[in-house]
Structure 1
Amino acid sequence: MIRQLLWIPGALLVLAVLGDLIVTCLQSGEGRLSRAVHRPLYALLTALTRATGHRPLLSWSTPLLIMGTLTTWTVLCWLGWTLVFWSEPGSLLGSDSGQPATFAGTLYFVGYTISTLGLGEITAPQPFWRILTAVASINGFFLLTFAITFVVPIAQARGDRRRLALHLHRAGPGAQALILNAHTDHDRGLLSLTTDLHSMLNDVDAAHLTSPYLHRFHDHDRQDALDLHLPALGEALLILQGTLSGPCPQGLGRALASIDSLSRTFGQVHRHPDPPTPPPPDLTRLRDAGLNLKPEAEFLAFLHTHAALRRRLQAMAHAGQWRWDQVAEPTEH
């Protein structure tokens, strides 16, 4: 009696995987199954990184989370269809012996069915189970297609992330270095931090809105670390907006809006209390470089109104195992 009811949990597993595939690959978000896989794996990797003090371990987050997701989808789909076929004795027969398939034989049959191999060593004698075999094969095709749909955008998004991070690394690094280098060494001046970056920022923001779990991916090298350079850019733009006496560079508001959006999707993925607000920056270097700045009191009041954004930016840096001084004004290049 219990065996005959196994099709119910089996069907629920198959439907759960299909729902997760649709949400994760086609909608803007992260499916429940994917989230249930990502969170513990990411927490384990983060704990291991903190325990060893070896930050490059975080770069394994990408293959670990991708393989964990694909493995979960495959195993649950495989198990679900196995329970469906196993629930009815005699639903599958050995093509040579004519005997009902064992559980191991059913598992084997489902494996080559959803992988679309179609070996034919075990067959379904009744029309109903033949139809379900075809459905399982189509399900396997969908699983493979959605797996590609899942992986390819991640590869493209990581390329966009690295391109933006490398650009900022070479333009800085660090918030005040970004401003000083743009002011003194770039032919477009401070516009290089706003209008020149708008397209890249928009692409990265759109990718993270579609796939917020990208905030769990980290890079090995400092120059590729978006979780270091994006907070630095955000801090630089806040300094410009809050302290320049003259007009702000064109496009600053749009660039800052993209950074704010990225920080918010980060907060949706990393649901933990934000760290304290970072200390206000010392603007002596900027004043010495000849920039016309507002009085310090006005700047501090401006920073107070943007404290939430600065906390999110610091949380982003901490997630990548970076210190705030490495974001604001690094001493190492």
Structure 2
Amino acid sequence: MTNLIIMVVIGLAIVILTIVDIVWTTLWVEGGAGFITDNLSKGTWFVMTKISGNNRKILRLTGPLLLIGTLFMWVVLLWFGWFLVFSASPQAIMNTSNPQAISWHNVMYYSGYTLFTLGLGDYSPGGPYWQLLTALASGTGMLFFTFGASYIISIVGAVVDKRSFSSSISEIGKSSEEIIKAAWNGKDFSDIDLLLMNLSDNLSKVAVKHKAYPLLHYYHTSDKEKTMSLTVPTIDDALSILAYGIEDRAKPNGILLKKFRNGVKDYLDVLEETYMTKANDPLKLPDLTKLRKAGYPVVADDVFEKNMKGHEERRQQLLGFVLKDNWKEEDIVTSK
């Protein structure tokens, strides 16, 4: 009797922990990934970065593999948990077509088809309590398929959104210098106002999705123009120049500029909370020399450096983001 209770308790504990992980990962927007999924993701990313080296074709497989691996892990844990429960007693299930003794693989079979709701009838629960547990096992299977399907759709949609955001930045300019030049209308940088408004809203949505679905962090791409770990530092350098490196008379709308910069900081805070750590050193400041020689109204270098004091932590986050995604500072196309 004691062994029966222990087996049932252990099995149900595994099932409950798995359900909590599924619900936490798929439904809790503010909670990020569940404990099991979070550790699986971090461990897989660590292994993939070690074995891939500089081969980004291998590293970009991490996201899809993690999505498949997460779903497979949930199935295995649920299946194993219910296997332990129904293995607790020889009377847990009965063979309706053959009175022979029930073996462990029969229990595994019964647990599996109950979980996947196939509706086979050659085995049946051996009493009222086992009938109740069978119904619960079937319910967890339905829960997994429902949440699993919605999770796949959400992840794929969020990956498209983050890559679309990066492409929107790259289309304006592949470096902070190009973005600054594209925003110049001959007298000031007001042409960038509408862009700041749209990109700010899109970045906020991406940040929320990153917090809701941390698996997004591990969807790597070898295309620099679609990589947020490179395009975000690039646009942030452009924002820093516009905010602190341009003469006051030529600056864009201050409210929109502040909103976008705050959006970038919020995004970096989400990443630091769920994915990366700050680098020891800050990202290098953009070089204003070429812009100055081209006649753009930029301030002196010492003034720019003074204005950027107090933003070291932000730039440590930016560099940490670059390094965590297995890129280097030199991969950022800027005017440095």
Matches within 5 A, 1:304-319: 304-319=309-324
Q: Does 1:299 align with 2:301?
A: no
Structure 1 vs Structure 2 CA RMSD: 2.2
Shift of residue 116, structure 1, vs aligned partner: 0.9
- 5+ residue gaps, structure 2, are none
Q: Determine if contact 2:44/2:66 at 8 Å carries over to the other structure.
A: yes
Alpha-carbon distance, 1:273 to partner = 5.0
Which piece of structure 1 moves more, 237-246 or 187-196?
A: 187-196
Q: Deviations over 1:101-154 (max 9, x none)?
A: 211111111111111111112111312111211111011000111111221111
Paired with 1:110 and 1:158, the residues of 2 have a C-alpha distance of 35
Deviations 1:88-111 (A, max 9, x none): 121111121123421111111111
Counterpart CA distance in 2 for 1:171 and 1:56 is 26
Please state how far the C-alpha of 1:26 moved relative to its aligned partner: 1.1
Matches within 5 A, 1:229-244: 229-244=231-246
Alignment of 1:157-172 (within 5 A): 157-172=158-173
1:289: which partner in 2? 294
Measure, in 2, the Cα distance between the counterparts of 1:8 and 1:207: 36
Deviation at 1:76, TM superposition (A): 0.4
Flag the 1:163–1:287 CA change in 2: closer, same or farther, 3 A.
same
In 2, the alpha carbon distance for the partners of 1:223 and 1:296 equals 29
Secondary structure of 1:93 counterpart: strand
1:10, 1:81 within 8 Å by CA — same for their partners in 2? yes
Identity %: 26
8 Å CA contact retained: 1:115, 1:140 = yes
Q: By how many angstroms is 1:187 displaced? A: 10
Partner of 1:189: 191
Take 1:47 and 1:193, find their aligned partners in 2: how far apart are those partners?
39
CA deviation after TM superposition for structure 1 residue 195, in Å:
1.9
Give the distance between the partners of 1:139 and 1:101, measured in 2 at CA.
Answer: 24
Partner of 1:38: 41
Task: Give the conservation status (yes or no) of the 8 Å contact 1:92–1:100.
Answer: no
Q: 8 Å contact 2:276–2:320 — kept in the other structure? A: no
Q: In structure 1, what is the equivalent of residue 99 of structure 2?
A: 98
For structure 1, which segment, 84-93 or 214-223, has the greater mean C-alpha deviation from structure 2 after superposition?
A: 214-223
Amino acid of the structure 1 residue aligned with 2:302: A
For 2:120, the aligned partner's letter is L
Q: Which residue of 2 aligns with 1:266?
A: 271
Matching residue's letter, 1:168 = I
Q: Evaluate the alpha carbon distance shift between residue 178 and residue 322 of structure 1 in structure 2; reply closer, same or farther with a 3 A threshold.
A: farther
TM-score normalised to structure 1 length: 0.92
Which residue of the partner structure matches residue 49 of structure 1?
Answer: 52
Residue 182 of structure 1: how far off its partner (Å)? 2.6
Structure 1 gap ranges (5+): none
Q: What corresponds to 1:220 in structure 2? A: 222
Question: After the TM superposition, which parts of structure 1 deviate over 6 Å for at least 4 consecutive aligned residues?
Answer: 185-188
Give the count of matched residue pairs. Answer: 329
Could you state the TM-score of these two structures normalised by the residue count of structure 2? Answer: 0.91
The CA distance in 2 between the partners of 1:286 and 1:273, in whole Å, is 29
2:281 to 268, 276, 282: 276
